Amino acid sequence: MSQRKITFIQAVREAFQEEMRRDERVFVLGQDVQAGIFGTTSGLVREFGQERVINTPICESATVGAALGAAMTGMRPVVQIMFGDFNYMAMEITANQAGQWHYISDGALRAPMVIETPSGARGGAGYGHSQSLEAAFILPPGLKVAVPSTPYDAKGLLKSAIRDDNPVLFFEHRRLLTQRGPVPEEEYLIPLGQADVKREGRDVTLVAVSATVQKALRAAEELSRRGVEVEVIDPRTLVPLDKETIFRSLQKTYRLVVVEEGRRRGGFGAELSATAMDEWFDYLDAPVQRLGAISAPLPYSPVLEAACIPSEEDIVHAVLRVLGEEE
């Protein structure tokens, strides 16, 4: 495949364009999607018109409810929620309705819809615009959760999400939106539920989510200079979770560290740690180390915000702890 480097924003926008051209049932709705506040939907209205790129009122529950109704009657909507925090406003419809209608209707109804949403801390946006809430959506049955960390993954996962017959939460960390990376010009898909080994190693398995993948890779380079080789795994989707790739890594490292920007309490790291205890206990030579945000509202101060979420230094210390080289 031919390669060129484009931004995360461009990769997502290309996924929209290709899927909307491929399938006339795909449409986009949300607040200011015609303007494209973060750039991912910019220009779509010029090509596809206002009937397929629909500005909505400031009411997330109504927007997601409209999308669910459209999905259940044969359309393939993509809802853009302007900030990930606002997903809580539509939680009843997302968690109690969208994910479960296929089951409770005995297969008569599906909900092929995507909720695309920027998330994460990016320097002083405050408690209501900075949270990473991916783990909140791994609990309700029937939902899928995608957390891409590169432009390549973003495009391939979004195309797969739009084609999926289940509701998919698609989280884009705002710190990654301007990141550039290689993306093929040819069409490709990344299956939901397929992790990626971003860096091979022998000493510790480090599972990192979304923007923390980049921190994990930089921490791994620092640790390599100390003689520690860390295997960095990006799950790419939290549901479905590619446990097989993580387990294969653990079979050679026997040590596991999990890092996310979501809160540590009740987070993805807690779930993966419990999975490791339940299913892979014989392959653990040390307690699992997990890093996440503290259970407090994220401050407006960039300095205090940085203190609340895992840093590269925190990851280095966690790896050394799991190796027994640091108290």
Q: Residue 129 catalytic? A: yes
> What one-letter code names the amino acid at 268?
F
Q: How many CA atoms lie within 13 A of 81 on its CB side?
A: 33
Structure tokens at 235: 């799950």
**Looking at the chain, how many residues does it have?**
327
Alpha helices (H) in 111-185, listed in sequence order: 151-163
CA-to-CA distance for 71 and 113, rounded, in angstroms? Answer: 6
CA-to-CA distance for 18 and 254, rounded, in angstroms? Answer: 42
Bridge partners of 181, per DSSP, are 6
Q: In what order do the strands lie in the sheet with 289-293?
A: 196-199, 230-234, 204-208, 256-263, 289-293
CA-to-CA distance for 115 and 109, rounded, in angstroms? Answer: 18
Distances (CA, A) of 241 to 195, 210, 327: 8, 14, 31
CA-to-CA distance for 308 and 25, rounded, in angstroms? Answer: 42
Helices (H) and strands (E) in the chain, counts: 11, 14
CA-to-CA distance for 81 and 30, rounded, in angstroms? Answer: 6
CA-to-CA distance for 167 and 69, rounded, in angstroms? Answer: 12
Q: Are 205 and 323 in contact (CB under 8 A)?
A: no
User: First vs last Cα of the chain: how many Å apart?
Assistant: 47
Catalytic residue numbers, as ranges: 129
